[in-house]
Structure 1
Amino acid sequence: MLALKAENISKQYRLGQVGTGTLSHDLNRFWAQIRGKEDPYLKIGETNDRSSKGNSEYVWSLRDINFEIEQGDAVGIIGRNGAGKSTLLKLLSKVTKPTTGKIYTNGRIASLLEVGTGFHPEMTGRENIYLNGAILGMTRKEITRKFDEIVDFSGVERYIDTPVKRYSSGMYVRLAFAVAAHLESEILIVDEVLAVGDAEFQKKCLGKMGDVSKGEGRTVLFVSHDLNAVSQICQTGILLNQGLVEYKGAIRETVSTYLNSNNDSVIYLNQKDNSAKSMFIREIQVVKNNGEVSKEYLYNEPINFKFTIGINEKIKDTSFFVTILDSRKRRVFSCEREFVDETMSLSIEPNTLVRGSYSIHAFINQPKVAQLDIAEDVCKFTVIDPGSYLSKHGEYDYGSVFGRYVWE
């Protein structure tokens, strides 16, 4: 059963103004509407690129967004700052209306979009719990039944009868999340607010969101820049880029697409001026056993790296250090060659890396003295696994390497 459906939703803003614009613009809109014509200002506007100055005073924060979310799904929404994530959640929460398109929801929505969402600063924590429950359509008896659980989870029992305007931001978000997660809504929407809490509370919240989705069958939409947290909680993902949906699919592929969107070349070629460096990495290639440059490798075939080093001055006691990174930029393993030549090769044995996307991080090093040159997060390649003993687990995240072990 569908919990949420977005149908061609877009959101347009006018820069530097409050509201939709001038009186003349509003009259033009009204005149177009009574004649049955399209809003004339929907024909203009630019993509929401925050880093560049545009020519139009209108900007599309979101454009033609379509998706369906099933009941019980946990969906992670990721993307760069300014991609439209918070705007999308405000539309889904009905805080603001879309410029075009329709949103269909099935059930009550509890939102935590920013610190203090839905709280009245002059009211106490106790009063705000009852206020939030009433907004969600719950009876006083239902809220009372959940009250002790909410207060215990939030950890602010001592201040529950204090006006929330005197709470710290951490206390605010503790109580706000506890209310949103425990009151009986069918859909829970959480923006990047948990970062305000301490590490212990963040861990507690992530566990609760997992329980809400998997155990209670409620729908969760989660925006965060903590990709490990998103990957832990969510099964599916939506990647936004400049107001457009760039990718929808399993969370593992969504995160990988986001992290690898800027550079997907399997060859690293250093084209900088390296005349001032004594030694530098000139080129790196990822190749198969036959010497063919390739971006894809089977889990049970070797993966070879060819390094070409430029040497302007031979430096003593240098080594060459290589680290393999997975799709979330975690370091899988490292290796080192204790001397540097103009050409070097490194081979990873078959049955080492499990399926997924990888890159390398390499540098010429004087241990504990200096790094002479570095190539960071380069040479993107993919390992595919159609038939290992772990492939039957599908999209389950079972790490990055096959273990060497013996069962007894």
Structure 2
Amino acid sequence: RNVTHYYQTVEHNMLEEMTAELEASSDYAERRESIRRFNANSPVLKKGLALTPVKFGISFTATFLNQAGALIHIYTDGSIHLNHGGTEMGQGLNIKVAQVVAQIFQVDISRIQITATNTDKVPNTSPTAASSGADLNGKAAQNAAEILKKRLTEFAARHYHVTEEDVEFRNGHVRVREQIVSFEQLVQQAYFAQVSLSSTGFYRTPKIFYDRSQARGRPFYYFAFGAACVEVIVDTLTGEYKMLRADILHDVGDSLNPAIDIGQVEGGFIQGMGWLTTEELVWNAKGKLMTNGPASYKIPAVADMPLDLRVKLVENRKNPEDTVFHSKAVGEPPFMLGIAAWCAIKDAVASLADYRLQPHVDAPATPERVLWGCEQMRKAVAAAQPAESAREPVTH
């Protein structure tokens, strides 16, 4: 049960404990009973509730793409120039990678200037995709920063006649036994001593391999886990629905930046919700895609947000694998949490047949398809009633 169809064993599985935690924090059992009572007394408006888990593998399945580079220069005023192979597209990648470098040198992030990704600085960059941007580029930047830190540490040990263990970077300063010098002061001393203050960094993801001819291997370095509990209300006469509440618990390991990660979980969930509820693709008879722009393609907007959205990151659970500071990727995994919205809609429709039948509601569950599902339930109930009446005993 813990081996995937591509023969990778799922290690460090957190789904059981996460599902139990979300079930408790979202009051799932109590709300399930409350919704049953509501639906029994509401002939038109029906509520639905669903809790779904997600297991998402992180890495490019094309193994060679799991590599990244970085370039770091330290200038004599103590400022740091950082360039890496990832593309910042609003997801907060640059901030995360800068935080990694700041953590290594123990300096304020304001010292670090990131320039836009360019192959004249970091060549042969992999796509910023597969949720691996921070994993790959963060590790490459960490490698470059640690090379430079080691150089500075070795220089400080020589310059001050101490051991390398006596040199400690902390709070924008460097402690050399009893003496404390500023970071920029040590950098200037290293420059005058002709120590290189520039380094490239490189990272390749370990442990992974995949044989496409046999469709087996270990394509993913690790798995990210999540769970979502969504409540909806459906108008069974029109198929219109509204997301009432969403509770999400997501695993990001030891988060590099919780504020960014919560934002990514929120955005990923809403995008996934749109994927399974509103984003209908329509082709004409000639095979041309007709829903190819905002005029014809409906993405979720602010009014489609759940009225009550609660996102929590799993706490105190580091990634067991050696990722950058034991964090986990966060881009795509929360996208799959949108499945809970689709399942909640189907749950509301199923209440029309007292949950005895599974409604056929294709994804995306547009209001039209939801209405067809409601009609399907009503017809099934109507067809079952004469048969049940025929079985009823005759009373005099």
Q: How does the TM-score come out when normalised to structure 2?
A: 0.22
The answer to which structure has the higher helix fraction is 2
TM-score by length of 1: 0.21
Greater strand share, 1 or 2? 1
